[in-house]
Amino acid sequence: MKTIDRHDAARAMTAPHDDRWQRPSWRRQVQRAAMGWFADNARRLPWRGTRDRYRVWLSEIMLQQTQVVTVIPYFERFLERFPTVADLAAADEQTVMQLWEGLGYYRRARQLHAAAKQVVDRHDGVFPRSYAEVLALPGVGRYTAGAILSIADGQRLPIVEANTQRLYSRLIASTSPPQERAANALLWQFAEAILPPSDAGTFNQAAMELGALVCTPKTPACLTCPLRPNCAAVQLGLETTIPGRVKKIQYEQRTEFALLVRHPETEAYLVHRVPAGQRWAGLWDFPRFGPPEVESVEGAAASTERQFDVSVAIGAKAKTIRHGVTRYRITLEAFHAEAEQAFADTEDQRWLSARQLKTLPLSVTGRKLADYLKTKRKT
């Protein structure tokens, strides 16, 4: 288990906070109150109540930066299709990506698949119990490794993620933004110290659940919180100002262009597999381009001709889709286009009908364009 080294410990003590948490009696009170509340208020979730490390791992990867209500159907579909880690490892990437479609942050799906293969190749298909071995899996960081092994095996491992970060910051009145190095080191030190001698997984789940349901970002329900008697932020009147302000993202507006290039002889459209290193790598997409290389639909047509070696004639506008990706707010302008000749299908470039597109993993906007073509065909 990784613990905070002496340098991190020294750094943690420089972060302003209330130090009553260092008293064992205070920590015992918090442990009892949190676990008692969890026993009565825990949500029924399909990954709860299991000691299966594969299932806990799958849920934790899916829950990264994604709401619980969104994850539930994906988790259930994944388990139905891949009931064991060996089943997941044996699947082809396209099948994995298709099941992940719409969940976002697609790098998680590729790393999940790679990690499953590693479990099969290096651990004979048995999800490891060693912290170091779990941490070595693709896509697994300190928080995820601690969550898996504490929940599935009861190992005394701390976790700090969005919900516990907020809860713990308020409990100890840490007034620095939790992303700052000293504050982050302090929270990890606290997360380790607050764990009970046994059943650490239940406590970790209780802390996450309290952060999700009670100790919420803007309007924490302090009056009904079981930890209120021990919360330094409440006692100091800081519950609405802690955690410290996170730097606001400055979103950049941009316009991108997609071409729905139709085969010259059939009702098939040009799609390609997005290469590694690009947004939505591993998914399939229509020709799509944006700034700084492309600033107009004419530029998108020229780029399509260069990239796919096919001459196209631009047609009418098909659809406008507005969406967000990381720090961008994107207006996607999709246009019909006609190919003057057609290449033969390859592994990464194909001509497919609107119906056939259903079998490919697409981004959310790619799926909207495919659905548009399917609807248009019927009218």
**pLDDT 10s digits, 53-63:** 999 999 999 99
What 366-375 contacts at long range (C-beta under 8 Å, 24+ apart), as own/partner pairs, is: 366/280, 366/283, 366/284, 366/285, 366/286, 367/101, 367/102, 368/319, 368/321, 369/258, 369/260, 369/286, 369/318, 369/319, 369/321, 369/334, 372/318, 372/319, 372/334, 373/260, 373/269
pLDDT score at 11: 53
In a domain, 70, yes or no: yes
Q: Say yes or no: 184 and 258 in one domain.
A: no
Say yes or no: 287 and 197 in one domain: no
Domain edge (last residue) among 202, 235, 268:
235
**Which structural domain, as residue segments, surrounds residue 281?**
252-378
Cα–Cα distance for residue pair 227/215, rounded to 1 Å:
10
324: domain CATH number is 3.90.79.10
Helix axes 53-63, 68-81, angle to 10 degrees: 140
* Same domain as 258, residue 211: no
Work out whether the CA dihedral 212, 21, 181, 5 comes out positive or negative: negative
Q: Are 177 and 246 in contact (CB under 8 A)?
A: yes
Angle among Cα 2, 214, 192 to the nearest 5 degrees reads 15
Does 231 share its domain with 290? no
As for how many domains the chain has, the answer is 2
The dihedral sign for the CA sequence 82, 86, 88, 93: negative
Q: What is the pLDDT of residues 106-133, one digit of tens each?
A: 999 999 999 999 999 999 999 999 999 9
Do 224 and 284 belong to one domain?
Answer: no
On whether both 126 and 35 belong to a single domain, the answer is yes
- Write out the catalytic residue numbers: 60
* Residue 203 domain flag: yes
Say what the pLDDT of residue 194 is: 98
Indicate if 163 and 282 belong to the same structural domain: no
Instruction: Give residue 247's pLDDT.
Output: 65
The answer for residues whose C-beta is within 8 angstroms of residue 338's C-beta and 6 or more apart is 261, 262, 264, 312, 313, 315
Q: Is residue 117 within 8 Å of 82, Cβ to Cβ?
A: no
- Whether 13 is covered by a domain: the verdict is yes
pLDDT at site 378: 58
Same domain flag for 208 and 294: no
Domain limit, last residue, from 235, 266, 294: 235
By the 8 A CB rule, do 312 and 259 touch? yes
Give the other-Cβ count within 10 Å of 7's Cβ.
9
Q: Residue 251: what pLDDT?
A: 87
Q: Is 226 found in the same domain as 132?
A: yes
Q: 3-state class of 204 per DSSP?
A: helix
Q: Is residue 244 part of a domain?
A: no
**pLDDT at residue 265, as a whole number:** 93
Global pTM value: 0.86
Same domain, 193 and 109: yes
Q: What pLDDT sits at residue 222?
A: 97
| 243 located within any domain | no
- Strand, helix or coil for residue 297: helix
Domain's final residue, options 181, 204, 235: 235
Residues in the chain, pLDDT under 50: 1-3, 7
- Note whether 161 and 296 are same-domain residues: no
Contact 78, 98 (CB under 8 A): no
User: What kind and span of H or E run contains 273?
Assistant: strand 268-273
